[in-house]
Amino acid sequence: MNTTQNAKVAIFTGAARGIGAALVQRLAKDGFAVVVNYASSSKEADALVDDVRASGANAIAVKADVSNPDDVRRLFDTTEQQLGKMNVLINNAGVLKATPLADTSDTLYDQTFNTNVRGTFNTLREAATRLNDGGRIVNFSITALKLNMPGYAIYNATKAAVEAFTPVFAKELRGRHITVNTVAPGPIATSLFFEGKTD
């Protein structure tokens, strides 16, 4: 395992599988020390950390529910204690269950907004004082936001909020050479894309 204290540090939320896991592997290959955040996928997170360490990079897995501000503070505290101050934050954690608006339960509404919006809010707020100058923040949205597909009203609303956060936060961090951007992938063959949908 590479324990070099000079490595740049990247936190990835929702990183145990899918796009997050692929990004973790890429930044580790580029020399970053990486933090694999997960809420429930401990087996996948641990396996990913083992793979990254086997490649010679430094990695830790940290369980934290991004919708909980105390968990987010602990995620950042653990990162700083074990790897150092962070240079990159990737807000990848998200939930999606395509459901017509009229059929959306209060529970599903709360779960989707808590993870996708409150989770991003919590990490951005924490990063405001914890991210090194010259750092990078990337928030994830989705191309479906522009397609207005039936069943995506609640999910799209959460991603619209994330897109609204991004340019405002970039201006609020002006002067510290920190960039804040949104990436909106199209369909990617991950469990988030396939689960809960008909063929």
Torsion 188-8-177-91 (CA) sign? positive
- Active-site residue (options: 38, 109, 152, 155): 155
Active site residue 152: no
Angstrom distance (rounded) from CA 16 to CA 168: 29
Q: Name the CA radius of gyration of the chain, rounded.
A: 17
Would you please indicate which residues are annotated as catalytic (active-site) residues?
155
